[in-house]
A and B are shown apart, each in its own frame.
Chain A
């Protein structure tokens, strides 16, 4: 009897362990596949880190697909650096959108001797990871992390190809003040580096612009019940609710707003500008919701149409959010390698800061901190169950970049006005 007991416990526990083991093994597979035909050329590894599992996996996989597409395109065209043929290999790692895991994953990539890293998705992951990359001298381009702190740590290895929240938050705030004539605003964040950062800069801008912040609430990036905080907000009678967070929260939130009969407009940042948001919000609740997204609308990106076509053909899926940024990040690295005539991070790192590259998302150049110069921001609205372009805002000139005071970059944006073409 005793032995049977032991056996059962053992089977259950080991089964549980095997399950966990399985999950870990998934990630490295694609890397192994790409290695095979690389015999003739020297292989240069490019790391990729994003959440490949969990609630944000759809966004993380989107970035991975974008970067993989770039690697495949470059390999297909053939790459020669310093007179020697070079083959790229993408090494994807899953950071589970978890700050602790992100640092571990970063170390893992460094140990695998990657020449450069595309990632991470979340600001909360990019920031702890950036220290590891900086210590190892490995350049990092985040396709999507918008928290200002990421590039303000004094690391020479950190870059990003999106506008940061010092730009995005004020643009959202200015838009709320001028275009939505918001007077009483409720602000909610998901207590993450990204959500809180965005909400803070937004709040500062609308306050400076004379609107009243009638409620400031916090939730988490795991919660699905917002009835209580929304009820409280309802009592404060806002005309706009702004949410700093990601779609798994934003969707149910807007749904519960409509159930509570809150008539206020709903607005958020890039984390909720996904098809998934509309789906999670359910029956029409998302209609009229607005969100900003760094970068031009996909169909207005200089290389957008061609990219979307290629992406669709390869993955039979629509671009969620940041695939074009992931794609361009790889090209920025390769561009720097070409100019440095070397695949050694120590040699091509200085060249990245001098980047002047025309990518899918438009011209890419970095300021002295590694932030994207003149990153445009687009505001979208849900119309008929789909995200529709509402307005493109281009922060003008270099002063927008400095962006230390919340209201500063909002100096010019409004004049860019209506969508440029379409």
Chain B
């Protein structure tokens, strides 16, 4: 039982990071119908910027809390500028082009960011200095650290704030309107370009927070880390229903849990034929099953409504 509880804790922490990244995919998809493949790499840039700030400031007289806040703010600023620029330079000119063009551009942008990062930060693994000292707690035989708790709570808080923002502010209302129909929203006096830029700013900012979390949690970063993370988060977004903000959150947490439980129990369930290395296979199997029965994801509405 304690092992089961431990796997749930692992899954929740991992899932909350996936969920934060998945938000960036789903928000952009909801408004533009574009899969922004560069989003995973924006997260990577956020992680590496935070690492750089931490490496620069750590060891001096600057208090740890200030360093971490500074690293997060710097990562968010860089990522927001990056996300804004990408939309402006690469996606906006293709807004009315066939859907394939922006998709391929997104892949191009992703490669561009990856190799620029490789030039700036080299291709080595960059490790985190001993900045966070974690304390361990044990509940019912399962242990977790204050850092894990912090990541989970922060992720939940950020997501709650986002939901509130979309629901209760003027900009949020405009975002929802643009999501439903950009042309009509434009006719109603909403500056669609501004809303899209804001969407990219928010998505990239959340991605930066996720990047900082990954760095603190795993203690390392490198130029290629955004690819797998982005792929998983995209899967989470699709699982929950891409285009739906709460769907991304549900999908992220669910994917984290599935991965954890699959690695933990797949060996026992299959009598040792399949090992824990099949956990991704299992995660995608769940995705396929969900898509067979609910093609627009768990929370998503039938696609016909959008057309």
Show the binding face of A for B, using Cβ within 8 Å: 1, 4-5, 8-9, 12-13, 15-16, 19-20, 22-23, 53-55, 57-58, 191, 216-220, 222, 224-225, 227-229, 231-232, 234-235, 248, 251-252, 255, 259-261, 276, 279-284
Q: Contacts A16-B112, A280-B125 known; A8 to B89 CB distance under 8 Å? A: yes
Q: Contacts A19-B111, A227-B14 known; A217 to B123 CB distance under 8 Å? A: no
A16 contacts B125, CB within 8 Å? Answer: no
A228 contacts B89, CB within 8 Å? Answer: no
Q: Which of B104-137 contact A (CB under 8 A)?
A: 104-105, 108-109, 111-112, 115-116, 118-119, 123-125, 127-128, 130, 133-134, 136
Nearest B-chain residue to A282, judged by Cβ: B219
Contacts of B296 in A (CB 8 A): none
Contacts of A20 in B (CB 8 A): 111, 115
Does B153 make an interface contact (CB < 8 A)? no
Top 3 nearest A-B pairs (CB, nearest first) are A228-B263, A19-B115, A218-B277
30 A/B residue pairs, CB under 8 Å, sorted by A? A9-B101, A9-B104, A12-B108, A13-B105, A13-B108, A16-B111, A16-B115, A54-B123, A55-B123, A55-B222, A217-B267, A217-B276, A225-B14, A225-B218, A227-B10, A227-B14, A228-B10, A228-B276, A232-B264, A232-B265, A232-B267, A232-B276, A251-B220, A252-B218, A259-B134, A259-B143, A260-B143, A261-B136, A276-B125, A276-B127
Contacts of A251 in B (CB 8 A): 127, 219-220
A244 to chain B, nearest CB (A): 13
A335 to chain B, nearest CB (A): 34
**What is the CA–CA distance of A231 and B7 in the complex, to the nearest angstrom?**
7
**What is the CA–CA distance of A191 and B138 in the complex, to the nearest angstrom?**
32
Most chain A C-beta atoms within 10 Å of own C-beta, residue among B13, B111, B262? B111
A227 contacts B115, CB within 8 Å? Answer: no
B224 to chain A, nearest CB (A): 8
Segment at the interface with A among B22-30, B90-98, B170-178: B90-98
B128 contacts A282, CB within 8 Å? Answer: yes
Q: Give the interface size class of chain B.
A: 35 or more
Q: Contacts A12-B112, A229-B276, A235-B3 known; A280 to B264 CB distance under 8 Å? A: no
A12 contacts B105, CB within 8 Å? Answer: yes
Contacts of A218 in B (CB 8 A): 275-277
**What is the CA–CA distance of A284 and B219 in the complex, to the nearest angstrom?**
13
Contacts of B2 in A (CB 8 A): 235
Contacts of B279 in A (CB 8 A): 228
Contacts of B115 in A (CB 8 A): 16, 19-20, 22-23
Does B179 make an interface contact (CB < 8 A)? no
A220 contacts B276, CB within 8 Å? Answer: no
Given contacts A227-B10, A228-B262, 10 further A-B pairs with CB under 8 A are A12-B105, A16-B108, A20-B111, A55-B222, A57-B123, A228-B279, A231-B264, A235-B3, A261-B138, A283-B130
A333 to chain B, nearest CB (A): 29
Does B16 make an interface contact (CB < 8 A)? no
**What is the CA–CA distance of A19 and B116 in the complex, to the nearest angstrom?**
7
A11 to chain B, nearest CB (A): 9
Q: Contacts A12-B105, A217-B275, A261-B143 known; A283 to B133 CB distance under 8 Å? A: yes
Contacts of B225 in A (CB 8 A): 224
Nearest B-chain residue to A225, judged by Cβ: B14
Scan B271-283; emit 1 where CB is below 8 A from any A CB, else 0: 0000111010000
Contacts of B112 in A (CB 8 A): 12, 15-16, 19
A112 to chain B, nearest CB (A): 24
**What is the CA–CA distance of A219 and B130 in the complex, to the nearest angstrom?**
26
**What is the CA–CA distance of A235 and B143 in the complex, to the nearest angstrom?**
12
A228: which of B94, B127, B264 is its contact (CB, 8 Å)? B264
Most chain A C-beta atoms within 10 Å of own C-beta, residue among B14, B133, B143, B262? B143
Contacts of B143 in A (CB 8 A): 259-261
A339 to chain B, nearest CB (A): 40
Contacts of A284 in B (CB 8 A): 130
B186 to chain A, nearest CB (A): 17
B6 contacts A234, CB within 8 Å? Answer: yes
